[in-house]
Structure 1
Amino acid sequence: MRSLPARRLSAGAVLLAAGTVLATAVPAFAHVTVQPGTATQGGYTAVAFRVPDESDTASTVKLEVSLPTDHPIASVSTQPLPGWTVQVDKSQLPNPIKTDDGSITTAVSKITWTADATGKIGPGQFQEFKVSFGPLPGDTDQLVFKALQTKDDGTVVRWIDEAKEGQPEPAHPAPVLKLTKAAATASPGPAGQVTASQDGAAAGTASAKSDDSTARTLGVVGIVVGVIGAGLGVLGLRRKGSAS
């Protein structure tokens, strides 16, 4: 049986471990993130920059999000948010974006949301800032959006650190949108190879031919049976006549 001091020591160790886990988990909840965190290359999407206020006393009054200029996005629009004004800044692109409507030489490089007296994000609260953009680039697997979060006490939290593979997550990671490749569409197979759609069509044709052949066979059998029946009827009448 364990002694009382040993039990207390064991319970203390458990509480210490739990406290350590919570201490390391809390900062992750306070990160500025992109929701949802994935989108398709070359497509259009709508995302929300989710901004929590981790301070005990100060409220968030401004959010600045920088869009990557090395992988620019041609079309960007913001959703109105009560209690906040938005400013969209554009910059000249070093390499124009080619679209169906021609070349685009400027693109949105920064979006700034500023709160009025009613729009602050208070301690322990969060807000989502929604943006629609596209087409997303097809030459990268992620977009990094560096963000600055300003509090009403003058504090600025810089969410600009980029995570590196094999290293611990930085204290203030930049929001990241992962990009996945678009699903491959069906294409004609090599000569002599039947694709799924072709195979389905062939099966349907074969089924139709089979049904037609069956119908014809049954028709012929019916005719033959009818002829035989008629012949037997005539023969019966002749025999009956002879007997009388």
Structure 2
Amino acid sequence: MRASSAIRLAAASALAATAVLAGATAASAHVTVQPSSVPKNATDQTFAFRVPNEDDKNSTVKVEIDFPVDHPIPSALVAPVAGWTDRIQTTKLATPIHTDDGDITDVVSQIVWTGGQIAPGHYQDFTVDLGALPEGTDKVVFKALQTYGDGNIVRWIEEPQEGQPEPKNPAPVLKLTAASAASATTAGDATAAPAPAAAPTAPAAPVAAKASTSDSTARAIGIAGVVLGALGVAAGLLLGRRRSTGTAA
């Protein structure tokens, strides 16, 4: 009896765990923008809208990404996706954006992909190069509409709120963090780089001086030895002559 109860409990726990995992997978399978966070001064402005297929039977046949108008994006370039046709829509601003290159009156309002299919259990990345990131905000909220082959449309348009549970159909959000100082740091490192290079050459001078001093000392000792040797030979010859003269007398 105890064994049967234990088996039933284990089976129930396994089913519960499976349900939790399935729920977590479904909750996380929504349209997102990759990467989801970049510095405000990021130079690489290429992003991908990742669209997963949550339907078990029908393929995704249309993807629509709506751009914000409160913090507009002036322009976009779309990377081709095999089997899909893309179309960029623009809108005219009531108040132009002033830039060093002139005023911008038309901005991107929507990009639509049609003609292809995302099969169940698969996802597709739709890559876009944004002309410039908007200023005066710490996030860009897009809205995505995903159309399935049976006509069902899933609207990923709910903006997540700080400190609140994730909504059922969250919108893709690009977070803009504080400007990165990486470029300035790199420039500073490049300026300071020559300093360490000079350090190894500084001790070289004393080493060379030591070598020069040692050579001079060796040469002096050698010369002195030669001189002493010569003097010894001369003294020997002189002493030999004196002995010869004394013997003869």
Q: TM-score by structure 1 length?
A: 0.81
Question: Given the alignment of the two structures, is residue 167 of structure 1 paired with residue 164 of structure 2, yes or no?
Answer: yes
Question: Given the alignment of the two structures, is residue 209 of structure 1 paired with residue 206 of structure 2, yes or no?
Answer: no
Q: Distance in 1 between matches of 2:190 and 2:152?
A: 61
C-alpha deviation, 1:200, in angstroms: 5.5
Q: Name the CA shift for 1:85/1:16 in 2 (closer, same or farther; >3 Å).
A: same
**Matched AA of 1:166:** G
Aligned to 1:18: 17
Q: Distance in 1 between matches of 2:11 and 2:142?
A: 42
Q: Name the CA shift for 1:135/1:243 in 2 (closer, same or farther; >3 Å).
A: same
CA RMSD of aligned residues (A): 2.8
**Matched AA of 1:169:** E
Moved more, 203-212 or 61-70: 203-212
Q: Distance in 1 between matches of 2:80 and 2:190?
A: 46
Q: Distance in 1 between matches of 2:28 and 2:191?
A: 51
Q: Name the CA shift for 1:220/1:123 in 2 (closer, same or farther; >3 Å).
A: closer
**Matched AA of 1:240:** V
Q: Name the CA shift for 1:109/1:209 in 2 (closer, same or farther; >3 Å).
A: same
C-alpha deviation, 1:172, in angstroms: 0.4
Q: How many residues are aligned here?
A: 234
Unaligned runs of 5+ in 1: 189-194
- CA deviations 1:134-166 (Å, max 9, x no partner) are 432464443221111122333221100111122
Aligned to 2:61: 61
Q: Distance in 1 between matches of 2:7 and 2:186?
A: 69
1:129 corresponds, among 108, 126, 130, to: 126
Alignment of 1:113-128 (within 5 A): 113-115=113-115, 119-128=116-125
C-alpha deviation, 1:94, in angstroms: 4.9
**Matched AA of 1:143:** V
Q: Distance in 2 between matches of 1:3 and 1:81?
A: 57
1:222 corresponds, among 204, 215, 218, to: 215
Structure label with greater radius of gyration: 2
Q: Name the CA shift for 1:198/1:53 in 2 (closer, same or farther; >3 Å).
A: closer
Moved more, 59-68 or 6-15: 6-15
Q: Distance in 1 between matches of 2:126 and 2:186?
A: 40
Q: Distance in 2 between matches of 1:138 and 1:236?
A: 92
Q: Distance in 2 between matches of 1:28 and 1:63?
A: 19
1:237 corresponds, among 230, 235, 238, to: 230
Aligned to 2:247: none
Q: Distance in 2 between matches of 1:239 and 1:153?
A: 119
Q: Distance in 2 between matches of 1:241 and 1:63?
A: 111
Q: Distance in 1 between matches of 2:181 and 2:230?
A: 77
Q: Give the match's secondary structure for 1:11.
A: helix
Aligned to 1:191: none
- CA deviations 1:15-53 (Å, max 9, x no partner) are 342243034223224311223333332223322212222
Q: TM-score by structure 2 length?
A: 0.79
Aligned to 2:38: 39
Would the aligned equivalents of 1:44 and 1:136 in 2 still touch at CA under 8 Å? no
Moved more, 93-102 or 63-72: 93-102
Would the aligned equivalents of 1:64 and 1:110 in 2 still touch at CA under 8 Å? yes
**Matched AA of 1:239:** G
